[in-house]
């Protein structure tokens, strides 16, 4: 089957839907999601969105905090662009109906998170992402120019080599995508394509992310000829719930912003002041490394996050979603009275597809926005709550550029349908699941919070083995969404390890025992296909 839109958006989170809503007044947009429309990371965001919104705070301060967290690797133009456009982005969400918590005297209640020198995080209690996703999704559903297409996993970008009259032209003309429910591959064509596929944190065994965070957009863009940068900077969130049954439940950083303390179980020693004068509100890389250090030093499975010294009604009203979830019988913790066992887990991909301030990638016809990108905003470590903001600002920027340059792009030529003539149904689907598990295990063991060259080389050897196996499998068997994800996980893990081996220093989120010092000059790691 072939479907044609003016613009194709791959991904239905904050970045994809922001872009779609800003294109739709002029053009017809198709939005693909590989699972449910709300199944990306956006709906899981807890803490909030950062913006300068009250007297006393300044753009300069938000910019400086972002650059300090990013260990000087940020592109200042991108930081300024995002920070200065943040208040308008929040205003647009409010207009769409996002019910940000009200302040006592100010318009909105602003909370605080690590690395921010000012209270500047707007939020909807501790479930901000859910409210943002719902508002964007409602507006998109109601727009007659937007078609939402769930359960459609993009396999690869379509370029000149897929045309009926094949050419070496790199311009992107759409995607091939496999139907996650019915099977079968469709062709989607468009004059412009926006990648908004989110990050790759499910490359690790323990992650705060939904299962779809497999770096599909990064891998597809790389295969289509885009540069990929700074993939070594994988952010580990310091406080993921530690529970044998319940995996990947985040305990928001805002809990530390409101006084939560990190303690050693048993002794109750509050250890963060031993590591950094900002204690629990130091940037995430520092807090995650401190926890990792204490876990290894004392042979612990977890540390405690404790907010039980605050008034119980304050705790329950500020963190209702977390309080309710942890109170359920499978966990059984009353957060207003008991400490929460936590560990760091893979949370955010700071690197990605290189884009400019219009969201343009290296390849004509292809834009990208959100966690899939390396826009220069985050540098070596993302400042808390700058991510949804980046999605909103760059989603709009890409939309504007497409609208403004629409008449310059010709419609796509005739493209060949997906060819399945040389493949059969797999007789060994289990291989895909085994390989998934293997990647996530060795990425956790060898490409974690503290790295060494030897461990990274071990990881690279394993990536290469899995790459051979996966490509062979891909060449012989019918494509499924699981296979799409495995192929992309292998690709992206290779990019992460190669970037990590290239950086011979410790900076931000990349800490290696072989090069513990930071070099005087901050330089992006750039992989060129």
What residues are annotated to the active site?
Answer: 284
> What is the contact mask toward ligand SIN in residues 151 to 180, using x (rule: CB under 6 A)?
------------------------------
- Residue holding tokens 């495995």? 486
Does residue 210 bind ligand SIN (CB under 6 A)? no
Footprint on residues 40-59 left by ligand SIN (CB under 6 A): 46-47
In the complex, residue closest to ligand FAD by CB: 13
Helices (DSSP H) in 108-173: which residue ranges? 128-142
Strand order in the sheet with 110-111: 49-50, 121-122, 110-111
- Find the farthest-apart pair of alpha carbons in the chain and give their distance in angstroms, rounded: 71
> What is the contact mask toward ligand SIN in residues 249 to 288, using x (rule: CB under 6 A)?
---xxx----------------------------------
Does residue 65 bind ligand SIN (CB under 6 A)? no
Does residue 371 bind ligand FAD (CB under 6 A)? yes
Binder of residue 496, out of ligand FAD, ligand SIN, none (CB less than 5 to 8 A by kind): none
Interacting span for ligand SIN (CB under 6 A) from 14-22, 142-150, 261-269, 380-388:
380-388
CB 440 within 8 A of CB 492: no
- Residue holding tokens 């790759």? 200
**Per the structure block, which two tokens stand in for 112?**
């605080």
Binder of residue 510, out of ligand FAD, ligand SIN, none (CB less than 5 to 8 A by kind): none
CB crowding 31-50: b at 16 or more within 10 Å, else e: bbbbbebbbbbbbbbbbbbb
Binder of residue 315, out of ligand FAD, ligand SIN, none (CB less than 5 to 8 A by kind): none
Does residue 370 bind ligand FAD (CB under 6 A)? yes
Footprint on residues 214-253 left by ligand FAD (CB under 6 A): 216, 250
**Per the structure block, which two tokens stand in for 418?**
């997906």
Task: Give the C-alpha separation, 428 to 30, whole Å.
Answer: 34
Task: Give the C-alpha separation, 70 to 138, whole Å.
Answer: 34
Task: Give the C-alpha separation, 476 to 468, whole Å.
Answer: 13
Does residue 133 bind ligand SIN (CB under 6 A)? no
Footprint on residues 118-177 left by ligand FAD (CB under 6 A): 128-129, 153-154
Does residue 14 bind ligand SIN (CB under 6 A)? no
Task: State which residue, 326 or 372, has the beta carbon closest to ligand FAD.
Answer: 372
Binder of residue 361, out of ligand SIN, ligand FAD, none (CB less than 5 to 8 A by kind): none
R_g of the chain computed on alpha carbons? 22
Nearest CA to 499 out of 472, 463, 445 is that of 463
CB 202 within 8 A of CB 187: no
Task: State which residue, 340 or 366, has the beta carbon closest to ligand SIN.
Answer: 340
Footprint on residues 383-412 left by ligand FAD (CB under 6 A): 385-389, 391
Does residue 435 bind ligand SIN (CB under 6 A)? no
CB 232 within 8 A of CB 460: no
Task: State which residue, 381 or 435, has the beta carbon closest to ligand SIN.
Answer: 381
CB 9 within 8 A of CB 16: yes
CB 112 within 8 A of CB 121: yes
CB 118 within 8 A of CB 184: no
Binding residues vs ligand FAD (CB under 6 A): 10-16, 32-35, 39-42, 44-49, 128-129, 153-154, 196-198, 208-209, 212, 216, 250, 348, 370-372, 385-389, 391, 484
Binding residues vs ligand SIN (CB under 6 A): 46-47, 252-254, 384-385, 387
């Amino acid at each position: 089957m072939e479907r044609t839109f003016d613009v194709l958006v791959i991904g239905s989170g904050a970045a994809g839907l922001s872009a779609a809503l800003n294109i739709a007044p002029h053009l017809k947009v198709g939005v693909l999601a590989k699972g449910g429309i709300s199944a990306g990371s956006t709906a899981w965001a807890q803490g909030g969105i950062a913006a300068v919104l009250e007297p006393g705070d300044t753009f300069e301060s938000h910019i400086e905090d972002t650059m300090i967290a990013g260990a000087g690797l940020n592109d200042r133009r991108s930081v300024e662009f995002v920070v200065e456009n943040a208040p308008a982005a929040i205003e647009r969400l409010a207009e769409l109906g996002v019910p940000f918590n009200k302040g006592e005297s100010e318009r909105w209640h602003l909370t605080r998170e690590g690395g921010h020198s000012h209270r500047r995080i707007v939020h909807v209690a501790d479930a901000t992402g859910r409210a943002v996703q719902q508002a964007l999704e409602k507006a998109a559903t109601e727009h007659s120019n937007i078609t939402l297409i769930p359960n459609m996993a993009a396999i690869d970008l379509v370029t000149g080599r897929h045309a009926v009259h094949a050419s070496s032209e790199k311009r992107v003309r759409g995607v091939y995508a496999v139907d996650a429910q019915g099977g079968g591959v469709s062709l989607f064509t468009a004059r412009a394509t926006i990648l908004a596929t989110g990050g790759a944190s499910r490359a690790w065994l323990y992650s705060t992310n939904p299962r779809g965070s497999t770096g599909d957009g990064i891998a597809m863009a790389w295969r289509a000829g885009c540069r990929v940068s700074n993939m070594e900077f994988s952010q580990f969130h310091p406080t993921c719930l530690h529970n044998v049954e319940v995996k990947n439940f985040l305990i928001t950083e805002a809990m530390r912003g409101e006084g939560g303390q990190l303690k050693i179980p048993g002794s109750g020693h509050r250890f963060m002041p031993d590591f950094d004068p900002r204690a629990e509100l130091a940037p995430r890389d520092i807090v995650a490394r401190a926890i990792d250090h204490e876990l290894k030093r004392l042979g612990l499975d977890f540390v405690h996050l404790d907010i039980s010294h605050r008034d119980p009604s304050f705790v329950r009203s500020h963190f209702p979603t977390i309080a309710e979830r942890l109170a359920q019988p499978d966990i059984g913790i009353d957060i207003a009275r008991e400490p929460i066992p936590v560990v760091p887990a893979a949370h955010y991909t700071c690197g990605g597809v290189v884009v400019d301030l219009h969201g343009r990638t290296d390849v004509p016809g292809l834009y990208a926005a959100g966690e899939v990108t390396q826009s220069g905003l985050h540098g070596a470590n993302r400042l808390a709550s700058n991510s949804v903001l980046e999605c909103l600002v760059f989603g709009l920027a890409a939309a504007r550029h497409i609208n403004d340059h629409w008449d310059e792009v010709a419609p796509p030529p005739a493209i060949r349908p997906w060819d399945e003539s040389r493949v059969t149904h797999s007789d060994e689907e289990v291989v895909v699941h085994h390989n998934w598990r293997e990647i996530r295990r060795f990425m956790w063991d060898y490409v974690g919070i503290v790295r060494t060259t030897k461990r990274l080389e071990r990881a690279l050897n394993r990536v290469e083995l899995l790459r051979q196996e996966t490509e062979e499998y891909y060449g012989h068997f019918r494509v499924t969404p699981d296979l799409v994800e495995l192929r992309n996980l292998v690709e992206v893990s290779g990019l992460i390890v190669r970037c990590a081996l290239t950086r011979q220093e410790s900076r931000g989120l990349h800490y290696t025992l072989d090069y513990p010092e930071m070099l005087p000059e901050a330089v992006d790691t750039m992989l060129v296909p």
